[in-house]
Each structure stands twice: as C-alpha cells, then as structure tokens.
Chain A
C-alpha cells in the first residue's frame, strides 16, 4: 500500500519534535528515520524537513549547533527545548483526539 505523503502534512512538526525528544538529530537522519519507521511508506523530501526546522527554531521549540564534520561538510544538529517538549505534548494530545474522531468517522458505525 502506498500512503500519500499528504497524510504527514500538518504533523511534520510533531514528528520532528518527537524524534528530537528522544535524542539530538539532523536532517538526513530524521528523514531516514521517518522512512524506516513507516516501513518505507512515507518518504518526505528534505525540503519539508528543513522548512520545519526553520519554523520550529524560529518558534523557539528547537535549537541547533554545528557538530563534527561528517566526512564531507559541516553538520547541523538539532536539540529540543523546554518549550519544544511542551509543544510536543500539546501536539500529541491533539493527535489523539483527531485519531479518535477520524477512526469513528472513517471506520466506525455512524448514525447510531
């Protein structure tokens, strides 16, 4: 089954915050993680990830620092902040609500 990447739209921030919540990371690694963890169903472009980084950094949810050169070019790592952790908790809670509602609307018995 091929899942359209649109399905991730709107939740990219939550996904990135969740990844960073579990350890500092960088663009390629996060894109790769999403691909592997989704069983190859979701393959986001790097542009999506980097735009999300800019957005999250501007909002103060993540910070960045330059790490050791990865055998080619400078590598920028990202780290979640305290407000980022709160934001993640908020987004995760929101998702649980959406998941519950959509499950009912898409798969549940309606007009009981």
Chain B
C-alpha cells in the first residue's frame, strides 16, 4: 500500500512537471494554475485506469499524455494574452540586458588588460592581451548561451533544441581550444615544419566536428532516428578522412613524400564502395506489391490502443525522446 502510494506520488510529480513544461510560456494566472490542477486530477485518474488494465508505468504515462491531446488549445481564454506576451517580452529583454552587461564586463576587462599590458610591454604585449581577453570572452558567452539553451530545452522537453544547445557548447569549446592553443604556440614562436602553427591546429576543428557527430550518433541510436545510417556514413567518411590526413602529415613529417601514396586510400575506398553497391543492388528485396501487403505493413505500425479522435500531441516520454 505504501509502495503504491509512493509510486503514485512520483507519477503525480511527473505529470506536474509535464504540465509545467506545457504551460511554461503562458503567463501564470490563477486560472491557468487552476486549470493545471484540474488536468492533473484527470491525468491521475486516466493513469490509474491504464495501470489497472495492465499497462506498465511508462506505457500508462505515454497513453495518458496521448489521450489528453493538445491541452494548451483554448487556453487563451484562461489567461490574458497581452500578459503572456508581456511576460515573454520581459524575459527576452532580461536576456538582452544580461548579454549587454556581460559584454560590458568583457570590454572592461579588455580595456584594463590593454592599458596595463601597453604600459608594461608596449604594442606587442597589448596585442596578445587584446586577442586573449576579447576573443575568449566572446567564446565564453557563446558557451554559456548554448548551455542555457540546452537547459531551457530540457525544461520544455524539446530534445532537438537541447541537442543544438549541447552541440553549440561543444563548438564553443572547440573554437576556444583552437584559439588558445594557436595563440599560445604562435606567441611562443613555435612552427611546424617551417610553417605556422595554424597549419596544424586546425585539426582541433576536425576533432570537435567528429565529437559532435559521434554524440549525435549516440543520441540517434538511443532514439532510433531514421537518419541513423546516414549519420554512420558521415562519421565513417570523416574518420577515414582523418586517418588519411594524419597518415599523410605524419609521413611527411618523417621526410616521406606521403601525399604521393596516401591518395591510394581514396582509390581503395571508392573500389570498396562500388563492390558494396554492386552486391547491395543485387540483393535488393521487393517491396509490398498488393493492397494486403500494404495493409499488413500499416497495421503492424498501429498502436494497440485506439484513440478515436486524432490527438495533435505526440506522446512524450518522461525522459528524452525524439
């Protein structure tokens, strides 16, 4: 009994979070809060109905959400739309003000560092201080915004936006590392085979890109994205290209005329791809040819629970879902 009560309390919290997400961008009037309470009661009852019928917790949760449909429809009557718009404009303005304050702080740091470095070491030292403080300060901003975007997307349960936020954060770190390493090495007078360090530090960008693609692939595996194979192909291509570049640069650094040989890797890859396509096209299966075949395909994809009135809302899991 106590266990069941605790499970229900936990599910009640899940539904509350769902409702908070759905109404996040609406002005929090008393009517909206009352409506949410009303919906919560209905959701708990529907959830109990599904679990009593034998559904597992997660399945019952999804079915409940699906059965409720688009609960934000018609909510305009419960809240003053002008207040909702005002609230969102207020939030946007706060964001702009915070951004301006941040850049003001970065500019202050930059000016302070510039004055001190000019007095200490003249224009050369000023140049080093300037690029570090302003460039890196801007990147820090991009990183913070990306993380904030990912967190906000997590609150309102928009996985694609959350992913973009995370990728933005990784991209900011990549550029930060690239600039930091490049600045540090070039300021220390380092070269690579007589060439500038920028001719090698660009690989940091490639590493960042591969990291983003690998992460995206992991996410796609979790959510069974239909673009999974395409992403695998892109990652495979980039990995192959990275091996080619690393091999070519490495052998060149050892004194070999690597580029005259390593191009053969691409010839090998092209031949392998053609052989693969030859066999794949040869073994291609026939698709459905009769109406019955099509029906069978459709019915296999149909959920067992029939919702007679189409809901505009896709069922959301309590975790990430695509």
Contact = CB atoms under 8 A, between A and B. Distances in A.
Contact of A28 (B41, B69, B306, B308): B41
Interface residues of B, number: 30
A55 B38 CA distance: 16
Nearest to A69: B41
Interface string B29-72: 00000110111111011100100000000000000000111110
Contact of A46 (B46, B77, B310): B46
Contact of B71 (A2, A8, A46): A46
B311 interface: yes
A76 B68 contact: no
Contacts of A55: 74, 77
Contacts of A50: 35, 38-39, 42, 71, 74
B230 to A, nearest CB: 35
A47 B71 contact: yes
Contacts of B34: 76
Given A2-B308, A72-B8, A45 B69 contact: yes
Interface of B: 8, 12, 34-35, 37-42, 44-46, 49, 67-71, 73-74, 77-78, 306-311, 313
22 contacts: A6-B309, A28-B42, A41-B308, A45-B68, A45-B307, A46-B42, A46-B71, A47-B69, A47-B71, A50-B39, A55-B74, A58-B77, A70-B45, A72-B8, A72-B44, A72-B45, A73-B12, A73-B40, A73-B44, A76-B34, A76-B37, A76-B38
